[in-house]
A and B are shown apart, each in its own frame.
Chain A
Amino acid sequence: MAETQSDSGSFEELALPLFDRLYSFARWLTQDRSEAEDLVQEACMKALKGFDSYRQGTNFRAWIFRILRNTFLTSRSGLHAAALSLDSDESAPVEPLAHGTPESILISSLERQAIQTALGELPVQYREVILLCDVEEMSYQEIAETLAMPIGTVMSRLSRGRKAMRKLLTESNIRSSA
C-alpha cells in the first residue's frame, strides 16, 4: 500500500541518497551516458535553486523525480520521444489480463539482458511508468505526482506498458530459441 512519504531536511540530506536512483532513471530515459549526466546535473541544480518551493514534509522523491522528468521532456531526446505518439488509444479501456497469457514463456526468458533490451525498446511513456513502479517501487499516487498525470492514466499506461513488454520479451524468446 502507498506509504505516506514525508521528508524534511536539507537539500543534501534529501537529494544525495537518491543520487544513484536519479542517475539510473535519467540513463533509462535518455539511453545515453553523457545526456544522462547532463540531465542529472541540470535537474539537481534546478531542484537546489527551487528548494525553497519544496514544501518540507511532503514527498521529496516525487518532487525531485518530477523535476528530472520535466527537464528530460524539454531536452532534445525528450522532445524527440514525446513526438513519437503511442499507437494505442489512451482513452480506450484496458483489457484485463487474458487467461493463458504467456507469462510462463516470459518467466523462462526473464534474463537480465532480454529485459534490459525490451525496456530500452519500449516507448518512453511506458518505460517511465514501469521504472517508477517496478524499479523505484513508487505507489500509483507517487507516480501520478511525479508524472503530473491522473492515477487512471498511470494505471492504464502501466497495464499497456506491461503488455508491450510481454510482447517484446515473448518475441525475443522466440527469436533466441529459433
Chain B
Amino acid sequence: MTCDEVAAKLELYADSELAAPELAAAESHLRSCASCAARALALMQTKRAIRVAASARFTPSPEFRRCMEQNIASAAASQHLAPSPSSPAFPSRAWFSFSLPRLAVAAVAVVLLVAAALWVNHSARENQLTEIADLHVAALASANPVDVVSTDKHTVKPWFAGKLPFSFNLPEMQNSPFVLVGGRVAYFQHSSGAQLLFNLRKHQLSVFIFKEEGLPFSVGTFAATRLSMHTESWSQGGLRYFIVSDAPAADVHALGELMRQAARS
C-alpha cells in the first residue's frame, strides 16, 4: 500500500474495521512509514480521548437509577404475572408487599444490581488497562522515553521527590535480569504518578505507580493480556501498581514480585 492508499483506509484501521488482507497490508505499511504511523496513532489517541471525555461526562443520578430499576422490575413483573397489553407501564403500587413472586423479583433485582456493579467495574478495568498500555506505548514511541536516565535506583528514586504526592521503594536490580532505564512522571485519571522503565533482553517493561485514593475505581489484583501486551496490577501500601509489557507474562510477574518485595521492605 502507498501512503495515499493507507490514508484513505486510516479511519477504518483505527476503527478496527479493516478485513484481514487489507489489515495486513496496512500494518506492513505502518511499520515502515513513520508519518502514516504517527497519523494512525493520533487518530487512535483522539478516539480514546473522546471515549474518556464523553463516557465520564454524564451519569444518571442515583434517584433516577433507582426509580428506573424499580419501574422496569415492576413493569416486567406485571407483564410476566398478568399479561395484559393495556396494563399501565408504571403501576403505582406499594413496593413492599411480601408476596412470593414479588420477593423473587426483588431477589432478581439484587442479583442484577450486583452483576451491573461487577460489569461497571470490569469495563472500568478495561479502560484503565487500555490507558496504561497507551502510556507505555507512547513513552516508547517518544524520542525521550524517560526524563531521568539512570540504571541506579539511588538516582532515580530521589528524582521523583517533590514531583509526586507519595514515595515508593525500588528493588535492588543487580541480581535480576531486569535493567532499570530510568523514569518519568506519568498522568493517569488526573493523578500524577511514577513511570519506571526497565529493559529485559529485547523487551521494555513499564511499572506505573499511582496513589490509590486518586483513582476512581478499585480494580483489585489481576493479570491480563490484551493485544499481546501483558499487564499485572495490584494494590500495596495505599499505592496502585501496574506493569505493562510485551515481555512474556512470567517475566512481567517476576518484575512484579521484585516490586512487591521492595515495597514490603
Contacts and interface: CB of A to CB of B under 8 A. Distances in A.
B10 A24 contact: no
Interface residues of A, number: 51
A139 interface: yes
10 contacts: A1-B16, A11-B72, A45-B75, A96-B8, A99-B7, A107-B49, A110-B45, A110-B46, A134-B54, A165-B50
Contacts of A57: none
Interface of A: 1-2, 10-13, 15-17, 19-20, 23-24, 27-28, 36-37, 40-41, 44-45, 48-49, 96-99, 101, 103-104, 106-107, 110, 112-113, 115-116, 119, 130-131, 133-135, 137, 139-140, 155, 158-159, 162, 165
Interface of chain A, main secondary structure: helix
B64 interface: yes
A107 B112 contact: no
B11 A16 contact: no
B119 interface: yes
B72 A48 contact: yes
A80 to B, nearest CB: 20
Interface residues of B, number: 52
B229 to A, nearest CB: 18
A48 B51 contact: no
B213 interface: no
Nearest to B112: A16
Given A19-B65, A23-B60, A97-B10, A12 B42 contact: no
Given A1-B19, A158-B11, 8 more contacts: A16-B116, A20-B120, A23-B60, A37-B64, A48-B89, A49-B85, A99-B7, A134-B47
